[in-house]
Amino acid sequence: MKDVDNWYYSDKVKEHFLKPKNFLEKEPKKGEFDAYGEAGSVVCGDIMKVWLKIDKKTERVKKFKWQTWGCASAIAATSMFSVMVTEKGGIKIKDALKITPKDIITRLHGLPPQKVHCSVLADQAFKKAIDNYYGGRV
């Protein structure tokens, strides 16, 4: 089988790429978010930026906003990840940290194998933001 035969985008990927959820259009104001994290891909050089709003009492992720220079797969995967961590009023940080790129890809109904590295950016930027949150770095 040639690589091109595996190049298939599910309707769910297209939905999240064409109408990304929780994309941050404007630069945030100072103090608007509780945490910030950034990750880059060594494979393609793209960058992901993530801003979080955390409920300090319950440790739930109330907002997950993001920007990227990544490709369609990175956009779809991050959009999906942002939905997964904020659904049902926001999931607890400890549970959000357990979400893997494989979980994101499952919710997207798959990604082309060549694009799996793109789904890692959201997860990595989120982990950086949580490190910064607990380290007192906004």
d(CA 47, CA 58): 30
Q: How far is CA 90 from the centre of its chain?
A: 14
| End-to-end Cα, the chain, rounded Å | 47
Using CB under 6 A as the binding rule, whether residue 70 contacts ligand FES is answered as yes
Using CB under 6 A as the binding rule, whether residue 101 contacts ligand FES is answered as no
Catalytic residue among 13, 54, 76, 118: 118
d(CA 116, CA 15): 18
Using CB under 6 A as the binding rule, whether residue 74 contacts ligand FES is answered as yes
Q: What is the CA radius of gyration of the chain?
A: 15
Q: Does the annotation count 71 as an active-site position? A: no
Q: Which of residues 106-125 bind ligand FES (CB under 6 A)?
A: 118, 121
Using CB under 6 A as the binding rule, whether residue 73 contacts ligand FES is answered as yes
Determine the interface stretch with ligand FES among 30-38, 57-65, 67-75, 91-99 (rule: CB under 6 A).
Answer: 67-75
Residue 3 CB, nearest approach to ligand FES (Å): 14
Q: Does the annotation count 118 as an active-site position? A: yes
Six-digit token string for 35 = 């945490």
Give burial (CB, 10 Å; 0-12/13-18/19+) of 82. Answer: buried
Residue 118 CB, nearest approach to ligand FES (Å): 3
Give the residues lining the site for ligand FES (CB under 6 A).
41, 44, 46, 70-71, 73-74, 118, 121
